[in-house]
Structures are given as structure tokens and as C-alpha cells.
Amino acid sequence: MALVTPSSVLVSSSNFPSAHFWAKQLNLPLVDLAPQAGLYLIYDAQGLALAQADLPKINPVRVDFSAGAMAHRLQQGGGRGQALAKACGLKQGVSPRVLDATLGLATDAVVLTSLGCQVVGIERHPWVAALVEDALQRIKGEVDLFWLEERFKLVAGDSTQGMASLAAAATFEPQVVYLDPMFPSTEKTAQVKKEMRFFRDLVGKDLDAGVLLEQALDLASHRVVVKRPRKAPELAGKKPSFSLIGKANRFDIYALRSLQAN
């Protein structure tokens, strides 16, 4: 995985205790002024965020489970009838245990959690894991999001270095392993979402995604689900059992056993 070197500072304009916590946790200098170039982290009244000094007109990217695009998706996502839920095998009486081995901003993982699944998410980039953990800390005590505290767990680690051991450390036996590896895209599609543009700079391309599929097939008890751009080749050239195809993306499903209602 080729990484673009970030500015490696955390910027905070006020004396937020959590800013000091994250600076220490991530081993970053805590400074008052933003750098002149590169990616960096910022902590403000809204929490931890990722910023890009070279793109000052784009707002910092943060994870927020109670507002914005995430809240809208939870409210309008289509429930168990949406493609993500169908791909992961959700149906009446079936809410599988899901390991999201490429967590990212946790959007899909949180949707699955909201639909009743127990979900463990693994994220290998420490800055990205920190963004998710900070968001989880901010929703503690929110009555409307009690289910997220109860059913979702974040694990910081690299799935390619031992997916099974990371799941075992979380005392989790996944029925479904979900993969959404970063995929090389054209300049046009890279501009669709600022999160993706920032993250491509931060974490690079998942060139080792084939390793993820091998480990996922060994670990999942019932199925592996891989999210791909609609016209992208199959991951590692491995043909899925079937696919669910949408306008921009598709889900390749590798079925191992049938998910049965409890």
C-alpha cells in the first residue's frame, strides 16, 4: 500500500483536552497553525477531522453518526431492502454477525449495525481509526444511538496481516466478512466525494486486496461480500457465486453456506 506522506501534525486552536489525547495517541505534534501543504488532522468543537492544506476550499472530513450524510442514510437508506443488506444476507429473522475488514469511515458498517447486525470493523490506518473512534466517543449517552454502542466494535489493525487473529482478539466469529477495498479510479470519479479524494491521498490504493479475499474466505462461516465499482474486474480474478449490480457499484457475493433464520 503506497502512502502519501502527510504533514503529521494535529492542529487545535483551543485547549481541548481531547486534542491532547489524540496528539499523544497518534504521536503527533500539537500545533496552533495549519501546515502550508499536505494532509493533517484538526481538532475543534465538532471533534477530530482530516484536512488537506492544498485544498483549502474543501471542508475537513469527519465521522459523525448523528448528523449530516450518515444520519440521512440511516433515515432514508431503505432498511433491509437495500442492496447492502441483501448482499450480506439480511432477511426476516436473519441478522448475521458481520466483520467489516476494510472499515474506512464506517458508513456501511454502521448501516448494518442499525439493521440489527453485530458488527466488528477493522481499520488499518491509525488516522482513519482515530476518526471513527472519536465519533464513537461523541455519541456516548445518546439515547437514539444506543444500538451503535451495543452492537458495533472498532478494532485498529491490518486485516491483511491476520484477519482471523484480529477477529479472535475481539472474541468475534463472523458469519459474513465484508470487504470494500480502495479501488483505483479515474479523476472524474475521484472528485465525486471529498472523503474519497482525501483518503486516496492518505491511504493509497489497496494493492493487497487479493490477500483480503483469501483470508476472508477462510474466516467467514457463511459468505464473503465484496463491494466493487460496477464495471471493475472481480477481486483477484475470483468469480463470485452471484452479484447484485447497482448504478455505480456492485456487490460480489461468495456464498459458502445458507444463512438461516434463528
**Mapping DSSP to helix (H, G, I), strand (E, B) and coil, where does residue 71 land?**
helix
Residue 132 sits in the same domain as residue 228: yes
Domain assignment present for residue 133? The answer is yes
How does pLDDT run across 72-110, given as a tens digit for each residue? 777 766 678 899 999 999 999 999 999 999 999 999 999
∠ CA 2-166-18 to the nearest 5 degrees? 75
Tell me the pairing of strands 176-179 and 249-255.
Answer: unpaired
Q: Which three cell numbers stand for residue 111?
A: 448501516
User: Domain containing 17 — which CATH number?
Assistant: 3.40.1630
Domain assignment present for residue 63? The answer is no
pTM for this prediction: 0.92
Residue 168 sits in the same domain as residue 39: no
Q: Which three cell numbers stand for residue 129?
A: 481509526
User: Domain containing 238 — which CATH number?
Assistant: 3.40.50.150
| CA proximity to 152, closest of 115, 127, 121 | 121
- Tell me if 232 sits within 8 A of 181, measured CB to CB: no
- Neighbour count for residue 207 (Cβ, 10 Å): 12
CA–CA distances in Å: residue 60 to residues 29, 41, 66, 168, 218: 19, 9, 17, 34, 38
* Enclosing domain of residue 23: 10-52
Domain assignment present for residue 171? The answer is yes
Domain assignment present for residue 5? The answer is no
Across the range 145-163, mean pLDDT stands at 95
Residue 30 sits in the same domain as residue 124: no
Residue 125 sits in the same domain as residue 250: yes
Residue 214 sits in the same domain as residue 174: yes
Highest mean pLDDT among 12-21, 34-43, 56-65, 199-208 belongs to: 34-43
Residue 38 sits in the same domain as residue 89: no
Residue 121 sits in the same domain as residue 176: yes
Residue 164 sits in the same domain as residue 34: no
Residue 212 sits in the same domain as residue 166: yes
> What's the CA gap between 55 and 51, in Å, rounded?
8
Note the maximum CA span of the chain: 56
Query: Across all residues in the chain, what is the average pLDDT?
Result: 88
* Domain total in the chain: 2
Domain assignment present for residue 3? The answer is no
Domain assignment present for residue 107? The answer is yes
Residue 125 sits in the same domain as residue 246: yes
- Neighbour count for residue 90 (Cβ, 10 Å): 23
> What's the CA gap between 157 and 145, in Å, rounded?
25
Residue 113 sits in the same domain as residue 162: yes
Tell me, what's the pLDDT at 4? 42
Is a pLDDT exceeding 50 seen at residue 24? yes
